[in-house]
Chain A
Amino acid sequence: MTPTVARLAPAGRPASLLRGLVSAPFLYVAAALLLSAGVLLAFLVAPLDASGLGFTQKIFYFHAAIAETALIAFAVALVAAVLRLVRSAGPPAGLEVAAVRLGLFFSGLVMVTGMIWGRAAWGVWWAWEPRLTTFLMALLVYAAYFVVRGSIDDVQRRETVGSVYAIIAFVTVPVTFFATRYLPEGLHPVVMTASEARMETSMALTFAVCTLGMVALLAALLRSEVALAAGAGALDEVKDLLEER
Chain B
Amino acid sequence: MAGRQLIALLRRDLLLETRRLQTVLSMVIFAVVAMVVVRYGWSADLQGPSGASFPSGDTAPVGEAGPTVGAVPAAMLWVIFVFAAMLGLSRTFAHEREDDCLDGLLLCPVDRVLVFCAKAITNLALLLVMQVVAIPVFGLFFLEGSAVRLLVCTPVVLLADIGLASVGTLVATMVLHARSRDLVLPVVLLPLLVPVVIAATSATAAIVDRGAPLADVLGRLGFLAAYDAVFLVLAWGTYGLLMRD
Chain A directly contacts chain B within the complex, with at least one CB pair under 8 Å: yes
Q: Is A37 an interface residue (CB 8 A)?
A: no
Instruction: Give Cα distance in the complex from A203 to B231, angstroms.
Output: 39
- Contact yes or no, A157 B177, CB < 8 A: yes
* Chain A positions 155 through 198: 1 when the CB is less than 8 Å from some CB of chain B, otherwise 0: 01100110011011101000100000000000000000000000
Q: Which residue of A lies closest to B238 (CB)?
A: A164
Using Cβ atoms and an 8 Å threshold, which residues of chain A touch B174?
Answer: 148, 161, 164-165
CB distance from A151 to the nearest CB of B (A): 4
Contact B245 A151 (CB under 8 A): no
A137 to B195, CA, bound (A): 9
**Which of B38-46, B102-110, B184-192 is the contact stretch?**
B184-192
Q: B177 is contacted by which of A143, A154, A168, A169 (Cβ under 8 Å)?
A: A154
B244 at the interface (CB under 8 A from A): yes
Assess whether A171 is in contact with B230, with CB atoms less than 8 Å apart.
yes
Q: Which residues of B contact A171 (CB under 8 A)?
A: 230-231, 234
Interface residue tally of chain B, by bracket?
20 to 34
Inter-chain CA distance A161–B179, complex, in Å, is 13
CA–CA, A168 and B177, complex, Å: 19
Q: Is the interface of A mostly helix, strand, loop or mixed?
A: helix
Are the CB atoms of B175 and A151 closer together than 8 Å? yes
Contacts of A140 in B (CB 8 A): 191, 194
B97 at the interface (CB under 8 A from A): no
Given known A-B contacts A148-B188, A151-B180, A85 and B175 have beta carbons under 8 A apart: no
Residue A244, interface by CB 8 Å: no
Interface residues of A in 126-150 (CB under 8 A from B): 133, 137, 140-141, 143-144, 147-148
| Residues in B neighbouring A148, C-beta threshold 8 A | 174-175, 178, 184, 188
Question: Given known contacts A151-B178, A151-B180, is B188 in contact with A167 (CB within 8 Å)?
Answer: no
B245 touches A160 (CB 8 A): yes
Is the beta-carbon distance between B241 and A137 smaller than 8 angstroms? Answer: no
With a cutoff of 8 Å between Cβ atoms, the chain B residues found around residue A133 in the complex are 198
Assess whether B210 is interfacial by the CB under 8 Å rule: no
- Cβ A144 vs Cβ B191 within 8 A: yes
Q: Report the nearest B residue to A157, measured CB to CB.
A: B245
B95 at interface by CB-CB < 8 Å: no
A85 vs B239: C-alpha distance when bound (angstroms): 12
CB-CB contacts below 8 Å: A22-57 with B: none
User: Does B242 belong to the interface (CB within 8 Å)?
Assistant: yes
**Residues of B contacting A152 with CB < 8 Å?**
175, 177-179
- Across-interface contacts of B231 in A (CB, < 8 A): 168, 171
Residues on the A chain within 8 Å of B188, using CB: 144, 147-148, 165
A137 touches which one: B178, B180, B194 (CB < 8 A)?
B194
Q: Shortest distance in angstroms between A103's beta carbon and chain B's nearest beta carbon?
A: 15
We find that the number of chain A residues with CB closer than 8 angstroms to chain B is 24
- Cα A148 to Cα B170 in complex, Å, equals 13
Residues on A with C-beta less than 8 A from B12 are none
A18 to chain B, nearest CB (A): 25
Write the chain A residue with the least CB distance to B189.
Answer: A144
What are the interface flags for B188-205 relative to A under an 8 Å C-beta threshold, 1 for contact and 0 otherwise?
100110110010000000
Q: Does B242 lie within 8 Å of A161, measured CB to CB?
A: yes
Residues on A with C-beta less than 8 A from B230 are 171
- Complex Cα–Cα for A20 and B97 (A): 47
Q: Are A168 and B192 in contact (CB under 8 A)?
A: yes
Closest chain B residue, CB of each to CB of A161: B174
B11 at the interface (CB under 8 A from A): no
A200 at the interface (CB under 8 A from B): no
Q: Which of A140, A147, A157, A164 has the most CB of B within 10 A?
A: A164
Cβ B192 vs Cβ A160 within 8 A: no
A141 touches B192 (CB 8 A): yes
Taking CB atoms, residues of chain B closer than 8 Å to A143 are 191
Which residues of A sit under 8 angstroms from B178, Cβ to Cβ?
A: 148, 151-152
Q: How far is the CB of A243 from chain B (nearest CB, A)?
A: 26
Judging by beta carbons under 8 Å apart, are A160 and B241 in contact? yes
Contact, CB under 8 Å: A85 / B195: no
Task: Please report the C-alpha to C-alpha distance between residue A165 and residue B194 in the assembled complex, in whole angstroms.
Answer: 16
A160 touches B187 (CB 8 A): no
Asked if B177 contacts A137 (CB within 8 A), the reply is no
Q: Which residue in chain A gives the minimum CB-CB distance to B184? A: A151
A–B Cβ pairs within 8 angstroms, 15 of them: A133-B198, A144-B191, A147-B184, A151-B178, A151-B180, A151-B184, A153-B179, A154-B177, A160-B244, A164-B174, A164-B241, A165-B174, A167-B234, A168-B192, A168-B238
Known A137-B191, A154-B177, A161-B242; 8 more pairs at CB < 8 Å: A140-B194, A144-B187, A147-B188, A151-B179, A152-B175, A152-B178, A157-B245, A164-B174
